[in-house]
Structure 1
Amino acid sequence: MIKNIALGAFLLISGVLLSQNTPMSGAEAKAFVAKVSSETKTIKTLQADFTQTKKMDFLDKSIITYGRMSLKTPDMLSWKYTKPYQYSIVFKDNKIFINDQGKKSSVDAKSKTFEKINKLIVGSSNGQMFNDPEFSVSYLKNGNFNIAKFTPKSAQLMKYIKQIELYFPKNQSTVSQVNMTEASGDTTNIVFKNTKANAPVAASEFSL
């Protein structure tokens, strides 16, 4: 189940995918990284609603889910799925805590593929994701977004992840969309909306 929960909203972003992405120049990439890193230093919390879509080759229809993401620096992150089922996954204390419609469990998050993805999400709130030693980063742009594309360096991680793209609207420094392509070719994507930075986040968001 964890492997299938990564990130997306493929149906809602078809217009973005059709727009042409072009590489940033070295100067543009440097300015983009500096801007995001500077402007996100003051972020302590983030909350957003999300639409996630998982597209798998052996299924005719995409799996679409809805929920709320909550983040509290330095390393607390929760995904609470509300439709079409109730499911919560919380990252804290280097563990993953899961509540699958009342059935609770926990696993060690160290070296887990999904933990790597969430590390990028946490890093996107403070600009630190650009320095992750496990990924090489390239920078793209189109008319609406600046895009950071992360490619795994290790053969172990490449068994699961082909690439992860973080989309930043031109007028903001927080991520509005994440696209992941797995090694199998399956895609998981998310689009955030109603994002709030530095608003109070209840402790219950990080408990099950």
Structure 2
Amino acid sequence: MTARLLIFISLFVILIPNVSSAQASSLSALEGMEILRKAFVGVNDFTAEITQEKQLSLMKRKIVTTGEVRFKKPDIFYMELNAPYASRVLLKDNSLTLKLPKEGIRQKLALPPEQGLARWFEFLDHPVKTLPAGFDIRAERRGGTIFLQITPREKGVMKALQLVFQQGGELRRLIIEENNRDKTVITFSRMKKNTGLSEKDFRLD
């Protein structure tokens, strides 16, 4: 999994935990981003359990892993996947560290400032009046379920990302489609907000 893809996962997992209800049967892209902005209200940290299903284009069977995610304002995100495909990711603003315990691999990347969490927090700190540059965004409501799809205009690893959540704010799934035809579906459960996470809860070792 590349650093850019991990950035997309971390950003949109972070944005959802406290999403407000959508009233309209259809949503504009601006309305969809405003729902994301409202997700920050009153949320200082959160944890959630995840199940990840990875469908590789060259394999018929899915690779299924479980794990957890953690987030703490203003800019720390952690994701851990359990064995047999164990990995840990720590993102602090634009500094990303990936650890593969079984392989003994540890990689650290300094991402461009515009790809860090601080930029997105600044963007979503006020009501959304314009869309972020470089993305096509679609939002819609089907019954009580909200769908938000984000497609980068610049061709890279990710083809599209879709969030599926209930209008009451419960995140259900994160779907990531890559240009190599790989597909990842992350399902969320047991989400807990404002649990009082500290710095020690975001250590890779």
TM-score of the aligned structures, taking structure 2 as reference length: 0.72
1:198 Cα offset (Å): 1.3
Mapping of 1:85-104 within 5 angstroms? 85-101=85-101, 103-104=104-105
Counterpart amino acid of residue 205 in structure 1? D
Identity over aligned pairs, percent: 20
CA spacing shift, 1:33–1:159, aligned 2, 3 Å: closer
1:40 Cα offset (Å): 2.6
Aligned residues: 179
Cα distance in 2 for partners of 1:2, 1:39 equals: 26
Corresponding residue of 1:107: 108
Structure 1 gaps, min length 5: 8-22
CA spacing shift, 1:109–1:59, aligned 2, 3 Å: farther
1:74 Cα offset (Å): 2.3
Is 1:189 aligned to residue 185 of structure 2?
yes
Cα distance in 2 for partners of 1:61, 1:127 equals: 42
Contact 1:79/1:90 (CA < 8 Å) preserved in 2?
yes
Counterpart amino acid of residue 147 in structure 2? I
Structure 2 gaps, min length 5: 10-24
1:202 Cα offset (Å): 3.8
TM-score of the aligned structures, taking structure 1 as reference length: 0.71
Cα distance in 2 for partners of 1:146, 1:160 equals: 25
1:37 Cα offset (Å): 2.6
DSSP 3-state at the match of 2:171 = coil
Contact 2:68/2:81 (CA < 8 Å) preserved in 1?
yes
Deviations 1:177-208 (A, max 9, x none): 21011112210110110001111124233212
Corresponding residue of 1:84: 84
DSSP 3-state at the match of 2:38 = helix
Corresponding residue of 1:14: none
1:52 Cα offset (Å): 0.5
1:93 Cα offset (Å): 4.6
1:42 Cα offset (Å): 1.9
Deviations 1:50-105 (A, max 9, x none): 00111012112111111010011222111111233432111115222222116252
The alignment yields a C-alpha RMSD, in angstroms, of 3.2
CA spacing shift, 1:147–1:202, aligned 2, 3 Å: same
CA spacing shift, 1:67–1:127, aligned 2, 3 Å: farther
Contact 1:95/1:106 (CA < 8 Å) preserved in 2?
no
Cα distance in 1 for partners of 2:174, 2:125 equals: 15
Cα distance in 2 for partners of 1:106, 1:203 equals: 20
CA spacing shift, 1:97–1:30, aligned 2, 3 Å: closer
CA spacing shift, 1:34–1:150, aligned 2, 3 Å: closer
Cα distance in 1 for partners of 2:133, 2:171 equals: 20
Is 1:147 aligned to residue 144 of structure 2?
no
